[in-house]
Structure 1
Amino acid sequence: MALSEPAEAFDAGTFAQFAIELHDAPGVDETLETVVQFAIQAANCTHAGVALATRGGRAEIGATTDPVVDTLYRFQIETDEGPMLTALSGETITVPDVATDERWPRWQSAAADAGIGSALHVPMTVSDRTTGVLSLYSTEPKAFTVDDEAIAHILARHASVAVATARNEESMAQAVDARKLVGQAMGILMERFDITGDQAFAVLRRYSQDTNTKLRDVAQQLVETRKLPH
C-alpha cells in the first residue's frame, strides 16, 4: 500500500490481515518488525518504532523502521528524557509541533536536528500493565489527525497482545531447551561416574551455585565440552 493512501482506506479487513500476519510471525523480533512496517502503511507517518519495557523498568529498543528512530530512542534512554519514556507510564503522548514543544528540551533539540516535525507515542498495555510504546514520527508538524491516533491505538492493542504471546512462546521454548540440556548433562555424568539421576542433578546444581552460573549454562558447557566449570 502506498504511504499516501488515506487512513480511511484501512478498514476492518486490513486490520484483520494485520492480526493474521502478527499471529504468523515466528518470534518476538519478527512480530515487532511486522508492527512497525504496518504502522508505516496504516498511519500518516514517516518513521515508526516500538520500544519495550524491561523488568528493571528501563526501556529497550524493540524495532525501528530506520536509523532516525533508533537514534532518538537511544538518546532518550541515555538521557532519561523524552516523550517515549513518558508514554511508558501509560499515557498517550502527542507532540504536534517539535519546534514549539518544550516539555523535553534536550529531546526537542535532538528531534529537530533529525528532521522530525511531529510525533505520537501510544502505550502498549496488557492487563493494565504497560509493556511498550508504539512511536510514530513525521517530518511534518501537526501531521497526526484524530484518525491517525485511533489507528495507532488499534495497532498498539494488537501489538501488545502479539508481543506478549510471542514472548511467552519463546520462554516456553527456552524452558524446554533447558530441560533437554540438563537431561543430556545428567546422562553424561551418570555414565561417566556411575551415579544415579538424582546424584547427577545434585552435581549440576552444586556447580551452578558454586560458580554463580545458571543451571542451563552449566549443562550446556558440560554437553559441549564434556567438562564442568572450574
Structure 2
Amino acid sequence: MTDRMNDATASAFARLALELHDAPGVEETVDAVVQFALQALNCTYAGVAFATRGARAEVAAVTDPVVAEIFEVQIGTQVGPLVEALKDREPILIRDTSTDDRWPAWAEKVASLGVRSVLDVPLTTGPATRRSVGVLGLYSPEPDAFGPDDAAIAHILARHASVALASARHEESLSQAIDARKLVGQAMGILMERFDIDADRAFAVLKRYSQDTNTKLRDVAQQLIDTRKLP
C-alpha cells in the first residue's frame, strides 16, 4: 500500500470504528459505512446490498438513486458483479463499463447511467465460514477510477463494515425476538383470562389463527392486544 494509507486515513478508520460501535441500529450502521466510503475512496456514489436467506441481495443503503437502480437491475436479473461478488465472496473491479464484456447488458445499462468504474467488495464474517453479509458497491463516472490504494482501503472498510453490520443485525434480530415473545405472552394472558384456559391452550389458539390466516404469530398477538379480537 502506498502513502495514501497514512496517519490521517488510519485516524479516520479509528473514528469510523467508534461510530459503528455507537450506531443504535442497522440503518444507522450501514449509513455510516456508505458515507465513509464517499470520504475515504475515489468514488462518487456508494451503496450496500445485504445478503438474504434466499441468497438474493436486497438494497440496504445508497448515496444516490443511481446506485439503487444499479442494484435493482442485478437483483431482478441475477446477473452482474454484485451477484458474483455475493456468491463467490471475492471483490470485482470493472475499470470501464463501456468496454467490459463480462456482463454486457448490465454494463451497457450502467454506462448509460453515467457510471464508468465499479468496485464491488463482499462483506463477509469469520475467516473459517466466510459467511456473506452483503456487498459494498463503489461507483465513479470516471474510467479506471479505482487503483490499488482504493482496493486496499475498500478491503479494510469492508472488514470493519462486515463485523459491525453482522453484530447490528444480530442484535436487532434478538430485540425483535424478545419483543415478539412479550407480545405473544400478553396475548396468551388475554385469552387465558377471557376463556379460562391454560397457557398451552392459549398458545395453541394463537398458533392456529396464525396458520389459518397465514399471519405471523407476533402480528396475530399484536392484533389481539390492540383490538381484543382475533383476526
Give TM-score, length-normalised by structure 2: 0.92
Q: Which position in structure 2 is the counterpart of 1:57?
A: 55
* Residue 23 (str. 1) matches residue 8 (str. 2): no
Q: Please give the per-residue CA displacement for 1:43-94, whole angstroms capped at 9, x wherever unaligned.
A: 0111111111110011111111001111111111122221111111212100
Matches within 5 A, 1:177-216: 177-216=179-218
Q: Kindly state the Cα deviation for residue 10 of structure 1 after the two structures are TM-superposed.
A: 4.0
Q: Which runs of 5+ in 1 are unaligned?
A: 1-5
Q: Which position in structure 2 is the counterpart of 1:160?
A: 162
Letter in structure 1 aligned against 2:78: D
Q: Which runs of 5+ in 2 are unaligned?
A: none
Which of 129, 132, 139 is equivalent to 1:130?
Answer: 132
Q: Kindly state the Cα deviation for residue 7 of structure 1 after the two structures are TM-superposed.
A: 5.9
Structure 1 counterpart SS, 2:90:
coil
Q: Which position in structure 1 is the counterpart of 2:40?
A: 42
Letter in structure 2 aligned against 1:115: G
Q: Kindly state the Cα deviation for residue 123 of structure 1 after the two structures are TM-superposed.
A: 0.6
Give TM-score, length-normalised by structure 1: 0.92
The range that moved more, 193-202 or 145-154, is 193-202
* Residue 111 (str. 1) matches residue 113 (str. 2): no
**Cα contact 1:182–1:216 (8 A) shared by 2:** yes
Q: Kindly state the Cα deviation for residue 11 of structure 1 after the two structures are TM-superposed.
A: 2.6
Q: Which position in structure 1 is the counterpart of 2:70?
A: 72
The range that moved more, 194-203 or 171-180, is 194-203
Give percent identity, aligned residues only: 65
What count of residue pairs does the alignment treat as equivalent? 224
Q: Distance in 1 between matches of 2:8 and 2:95?
A: 23
Q: Please give the per-residue CA displacement for 1:136-182, whole angstroms capped at 9, x wherever unaligned.
A: 11111111111110110111111111111111111111111111111
Letter in structure 2 aligned against 1:120: L
Letter in structure 2 aligned against 1:45: C
**Cα contact 1:47–1:137 (8 A) shared by 2:** yes
Which of 170, 173, 197 is equivalent to 1:171?
Answer: 173
**Cα contact 2:9–2:40 (8 A) shared by 1:** no
Letter in structure 2 aligned against 1:51: A
**Cα contact 1:116–1:138 (8 A) shared by 2:** yes
